[in-house]
Amino acid sequence: MASHALILLQIVVLSSLAATAFSLSPYYYQNICPQALPTIKTLVEAAVYKERRMGASLLRLHFHDCFVNGCDASILLDPSPTIDSEKGARANQNSARGFEVIDEIKAEVDKICGRPVVSCADILAVAARDSVVALGGPSWKVRLGRRDSTTASRTQADIDIPSPLMDLPALINNFRNQGLNQRDLVALSGGHTIGFAQCLAFRGRIYNATNIDPSFAKERRATCPRTGGDTTLAPLDSTAARFDTSYFDSLVKQRGLLTSDQALFSGGSTDNLVNTYRLYPQVFRKDFAQSMLKMGNIKSLTGNQGQIRVNCRMVNY
């Protein structure tokens, strides 16, 4: 009986140690490669300085990565005989960008560290944080130690990445499937305070919606015709290069660009949160940081799972 209890105790201790060893930590690279994070920060700042829009693009890459089988850098994999690249998914095709910046960061970090020890998935997570900071947003201690996937799924990307055409119930369900609640939904949607969207994504709203400010619809129609111009860009809010709360102001004024944006303020359960974030920027900044940390934990590969890719665009063979 005593020996049985001892065995159970050993199993519990070993399980606890395994969970601790393989859990994500802000200090994961502190001893492995202390220059990794400063190097990422420098290169992200340079990329955003060169093109302010790149900050939103890098944030979006991390988001679209995490929503498809977890934060595993699967979005970075190019098509191959064995890889059904997520770059071809509806939400990413001719839309996801910033891959060259990630390639540059990966090459420089591996050079600084002397070997490939920093995963592409961790680079995506840190680059997203540093992009937000570079555009005036909040900071947070990114938990690190993710490993990279050896597979990708365009089909899963088409299912899991939220569509700009979704209404509130669909958005709530989509985020719930990722373990995220309504507060996370509104806070993370606030990332649309930076960046642009293509005409194809908002054409239906500016021509057909009734919950839209008429002058705003007219303004957007000037550069997004009923046919053609699918890739023409429009800012997601009035200060697309600055991380602030004008996104939430626009929703209250019925000037949300995407159907999925305006859905957050449409007489539903998220209206109060939109008003809270609009009136109290510090609450939004705090919640955004917390929700980014929560999202960054979705199905992360750790320990011996996956691999550390040498090239973010292809699996190590």
Q: Which residues are catalytic?
A: 64
4 has binding-site annotation: no
Residue 58's region, left for phi above 0, alpha for psi from -120 to 50, else beta, is: alpha
184 has binding-site annotation: no
Taking each helix axis from N to C end, the angle separating 182-189 and 168-176, rounded to the nearest 10 degrees, works out to 110
110 has binding-site annotation: no
What element of type H or E holds 20?
helix 2-21
Residue 177, C-beta contacts closer than 8 angstroms, at least 6 positions apart: 160
Is there a contact between 250 and 194 (Cβ–Cβ < 8 Å)?
Answer: no
Long-range contacts of 94-100 (CB under 8 A, 24+ apart): 94/231, 95/198, 96/57, 96/60, 96/61, 96/64, 97/54, 97/57, 98/47, 98/54, 98/57, 98/58, 98/60, 98/61, 98/127, 99/61, 99/312, 99/313
Is there a contact between 266 and 168 (Cβ–Cβ < 8 Å)?
Answer: yes
160 has binding-site annotation: no
Quick one: tokens of 159?
A: 């299912």
228 has binding-site annotation: no
Reference 127, options 38, 40, 241, 189; nearest CA is 40
86 has binding-site annotation: yes
Reference 317, options 75, 73, 77; nearest CA is 77
What element of type H or E holds 197?
strand 196-198
Q: Which amino acid is at 24?
A: L
> For residues 24 and 244, what is the distance between their CA atoms, to the nearest angstrom?
29
Reference 90, options 189, 163, 178; nearest CA is 163
70 has binding-site annotation: yes
Reference 211, options 168, 262, 273; nearest CA is 262
The binding site for heme b consists of 192
Annotated binding site for substrate: 162
Residues that constitute the known binding site for Ca(2+)? 65, 68, 70, 72, 74, 86, 193, 237, 244
Which amino acids are annotated as binding site, given as ranges? 65, 68, 70, 72, 74, 86, 162, 192-193, 237, 244
